[in-house]
Amino acid sequence: MKKYHPDKFAGTDLEDVAKEKLQEVNEAYSMLMGNNSSQRRSYSNENTSYQYNTRQSDLQQVRQMILAGNYYEAERMLMNISVRTAEWYFLNGIILWQKGWYSEARSNVQTAVNMDPTNAEYRSTLDRFNNSFNMYQAPSGGKVHTDDFCDLCTALYCADCLCECLGGDLIRCC
């Protein structure tokens, strides 16, 4: 279940796919549990942080479009707004990130943070961008990069193999 959690995919191209997958899993789960009311609230990703009031109603509309997943329209509209406030840079960052333009997305949100350092939303988004690599881990749970005791054994084993290649032997038993 954890791997499909839509929060993990928030703001990326696969957000809706992840939601759909979770829906499937939830439905399968309620079937198994003999509970056929699959209309049970499965997971609602009402990300309220996107929905607070701003004075610029245009930017608010852009926000609504992003929330609805209509990134294309949101971008088109945003580009027509000439006053570039912190909010503008922030929303542009969100849109760019979803497109896969990670570098420019980050610098836009960084600009928003610089212009309005007190805004918690901008700051947390910047943190989310900067920490996205923490998500990179094999589903089987294997750590990607660790130094541990196994390495020592591997080292000995490899050394032994190399010695044997050259005609010697480091460890007799293997």
Partner 1 sequence: MFGYVQPLKPELKIKEYACYRSYYCGVCKALGKKYNAISRMTVTYDAAFLALINSSVMEKEPIMHLEKCIVNPFKPKPVIRDHDGTDYAAAINVLLMYFKLMDSWKDDKSLLSLSSSILINPVVKKIRNAYPDMYSSIEEHLHSLSKVEKEGISSMDKASEPFAKLMSVVFPYPKLDNMNRRILAWMGYNLGKWIYIMDAYSDIDDDLKSNSYNAIIAKYGRSLSAEEIRSKSYDEVKFVLEVCLSEIGKSYELLDIKRNSGLLENIVFLGLFNRTQKVLNDGGEINGSIQGAGSKSKCHRGRNQECLQEAGEEISS
The interaxial angle of helices 86-99 and 57-67, nearest 10 deg, is 20
CB of 59 to partner 1, least distance (A): 23
The nearer residue to partner 1, 10 or 60, going by C-beta atoms, is 10
Of 1, 33, 140, 172, the one binding partner 1 (CB under 8 A) is: 140
CB neighbours of 65 closer than 8 A, spacing ≥ 6? 71, 73, 74, 77
Q: What CA–CA distance (Å, rounded) separates 69 from 150?
A: 46
Q: Binding mask 1-20 vs partner 1 (x if CB under 8 A, - otherwise)?
A: --xx---xx--xxx--xx-x
User: What does the block give as tokens for 2?
Assistant: 């954890």
The nearer residue to partner 1, 13 or 127, going by C-beta atoms, is 13
C-beta neighbour count of 167 within 10 angstroms: 6
Q: Check binding of 102 to partner 1 (CB under 8 A).
A: yes
Phi, psi values for residue 3, rounded to 5°: -70, -25
Give the residue from 49, 46, 47 showing the smallest Cα distance to 122: 49
Of 34, 139, 167, 168, the one binding partner 1 (CB under 8 A) is: 139
CB of 110 to partner 1, least distance (A): 11
Q: Which residues bind partner 1 (CB under 8 A)?
A: 3-4, 8-9, 12-14, 17-18, 20-21, 96, 100-104, 106, 129-130, 132-140, 142, 144-145, 147, 151, 154-155, 158, 161-162
